[in-house]
Amino acid sequence: MLAKRIIPCLDIKDGQTVKGINFVNIKSVGDPVELGALYAEQGADELVFLDITASHEGRKTFVELVRRIAREINIPFTVGGGISELKDADALLSAGADKISINSSAVRNPKLIDDLALNFGSQFVVLAIDARGENDHWTVTVNGGRIPTEKELFSWAKEGESRGAGEILFTSMNHDGTKAGFANKELAKMADMLRIPIIASGGAGNMEHFVDVFTEGKADAGLAASIFHYKEIAIPDLKSFLKSKGIVIR
Amino acid sequence: MNLAIIKYNAGNIESVNNALLRLGVSAEITGDHEKIRMADKVIFPGVGEASTTMAFLKKEGLDQLIPDLKQPVLGICLGLQLMCSHSEEGDTPCLGIFEEKVKRFIPEPGMEFVTKVPHMGWNSISELKSGIFDPSLDQQYVYFVHSYYAAVGEHTAAVCNYINPFSAALHRDNFYATQFHPEKSGTVGAKILENFLKI
């Protein structure tokens, strides 16, 4: 059986991880390669590296970082942040990224999804969607959830799939940071509509939340950042807990 | 050891090279026939589409060279599919090293979770044969990304189940191939590459 995936997400600024406290086993928690390698060793199924650097210099640092990640880490990884045209994606692919995620740039220019899928294959393209719900209407937001757009979550996810996205990474801004569980109702609705894998993000607070997101939420993968970085949940513990609950886990 | 990675118009060949470097082995990525022929071992990786890739191999004469190689050869992902007799992707006649045929996954509707194509993620392998595996690898998880698969046949060296059982690996004489990506399959994948290097 295909296993459900656990994905830690690392935010990167100027080549350094933003969040995170000291792990005993690594020299520098600020080094994304060391932290990523530790997660891989602990059983993470994939990694996501999000570049939140705005400057041009920072971009170059990030590409160099991706090259190092590709050399050191032996599991698949996705990189995102600041990809607005084909050449950005091409540079990251050449540096060794397995997938890229696009978010605001796809909202502004949906054809970017088609172009990326056509040039690099759907398996390379993750469409990240941040959305906020109000009275059962889910509005797609950009710039880290700060700016609402005209787009509605489910129709945008469907459009992304038909344009050639290989996966959807859905973050519920209502749930993000609450540690009260994932947006399972919306995730399940999306899973029933789409034929591509869905990565759930936003709201992970304890191990039960991952059971819920894989059963009620029908998600293919669960992504989280701070609970892993702050060692609130250790990945080996999470994986054995999920196994004990009958979830197929590597 | 003199190791060649066949260079052609396929994506992400570097990741195979990176995996070998992690094992302390350096390989040459080359399309040069003489270098490939003289190598102790050859890796034939690949991500891409079958018909355009076969056309490229023909143009470079690699379609004649590869089946003729005498040293251990490891095909990966699209490499495995191109080593079979035929692929449904673009209705493509392939290299014919393995008689197995390559088909597209047909999703089964009405299952509790609608099955998705491509088959992407970690899945377990069993019924292991051939020198690239050892008993410790039975039921271990490896990383797959593919929409087409080689049917189970005489040369199946590992079975995986997704929608239906399919060949996760093939083996015949000096030819080995994996549908999954050992270079992305953590320590399990590293062990498989290591085993191949020891053959």
The 3-state DSSP class for residue A123 equals helix
Query: Which residues 110-149 on chain A approach chain B with CB closer than 8 angstroms?
Result: 120-123
Average pLDDT of the residues in A59-77: 93
Active site residue A51: no
Biggest CA-to-CA distance, chain A? 47
Mean pLDDT of A108-133: 94
Residue A166 has pLDDT above 80, yes or no: yes
Is any Cβ of chain A less than 8 angstroms from the Cβ of B81?
A: no
pLDDT band at B11, cuts 50/70/90?
A: low
> Which residues on neighbouring strands pair with residue B145, listed in sequence order?
B120
Assess whether pLDDT exceeds 90 at residue B114.
no
A177: number of Cβ within 10 Å: 13
Which class in CATH covers the domain with range A5-244? alpha beta
**Any B CB within 8 A of A166 CB:** yes
Q: Does B66 score more than 80 pLDDT?
A: yes
Option in B121, B124, B186 nearest A74 (CB): B186
| Least confident residue range of A18-27, A88-97, B33-42, B117-126 | A18-27
Which residues of chain A neighbour B22 with C-beta distances below 8 Å? 71-72, 74
Return the CATH number at B163: 3.40.50.880
Domain ranges of chain A: 5-244
Going by the DSSP 8-state scheme, the letter that residue B140 receives in this structure is -
Higher local confidence (pLDDT), A14 or A72: A72
**In this model, does residue B112 exceed pLDDT 50?**
no
What φ, ψ does residue B111 adopt, rounded to 5°?
-80, 165
**Interchain CB distance below 8 Å, B22 and A72:** yes
Element containing residue B194 per DSSP (H, E): helix B186-198
Tell me how many domains chain B contains.
Answer: 1
Tell me the CA end-to-end span of chain B in Å, nearest whole number: 12
Q: Most A CBs within 10 Å: which of B122, B144, B191, as the mutation test of the A interface? A: B122
Between CA B154 and CA B172 the distance in angstroms is 9
Evaluate if residue A22 carries a pLDDT over 60: no
Catalytic residue among B77, B84, B94, B160: B77
What is the pTM (predicted TM-score) of this model?
A: 0.94
pLDDT for A165 beyond 50? yes
Look at residue A32 in the predicted model and tell me its pLDDT: 92
Residues B13-37 have a mean pLDDT of: 94
Report how far residue A29's alpha carbon sits from residue A27's, in angstroms, rounded to the nearest whole number.
7
How much is the average pLDDT of A70-87?
Answer: 94
| pLDDT per position as a tens digit, A25-54 | 555 668 899 999 999 999 999 999 999 876
Q: Is B77 a catalytic residue?
A: yes
The alpha carbon of residue A70 and the mean position of all alpha carbons in its chain are separated, in whole angstroms, by: 17
Cα four-point dihedral sign A29, A34, A36, A37: negative
- Residue A230's pLDDT is 86
DSSP state string for A191-250 = HHH-SS-EEEES---SHHHHHHHHHTT--SEEEESHHHHTTSS-HHHHHHHHHHTT--B-
In this complex, the residue of B113, B120, B189 whose CB is nearest that of residue A74 is B189
- Are A71 and B21 inside 8 Å of each other by CB? yes
Give the residue-averaged pLDDT of B49-74: 95
Question: In the predicted model, is pLDDT for residue B110 greater than 70?
Answer: no
Q: Which domain holds residue B12?
A: 3-198
Nearest to B122 among A93, A96, A250 (CB): A250
- pLDDT tier for residue A6 given thresholds of 50, 70 and 90: very high
The secondary structure of residue B183, as a DSSP letter, is G
Q: Which of A15-24, A98-107, B59-68 has the lowest mean pLDDT?
A: A15-24
- The answer to whether B184 contacts A74, with C-beta atoms less than 8 Å apart, is yes
Cβ of residue B23 closer than 8 Å to a chain A Cβ: no
B29 has a pLDDT exceeding 60: yes
Across residues A6-27, what is the average pLDDT?
Answer: 76
Distances (CA, A) of A41 to A25, A45, A73, B168: 11, 10, 9, 24
Residues 110-129 (B) with a CB less than 8 A from some CB of A: 113-114, 116-124
Assess whether pLDDT exceeds 70 at residue B68.
Answer: yes
At A156, the amino acid letter reads: W
Rounded average pLDDT over B83-99 = 97
Which residue, among A137, A129, A146, has the nearest Cα to A202 in the 3D structure?
A129
Mean pLDDT, residues B128-145: 97
Residue A54: its pLDDT value, please? 66
Q: What is the ipTM metric for this complex?
A: 0.92
Contact A138, A186 (CB under 8 A): yes
CA dist A76 and B109 (Å) reads 29
Average pLDDT, chain A: 92
Q: Does the bond joining B118 to the residue before it have cis omega, within 30 degrees of 0?
A: yes
Exposure on the CB side of residue B11, measured as CA atoms within 13 A: 24
Taking the C-alpha atoms of residue A17 and residue A20, their distance in angstroms, rounded to an integer, is: 7
More confidently predicted of B81 and A119: B81
pLDDT at B46 over 90: no
Please say if the pLDDT value at position A118 is more than 90.
no
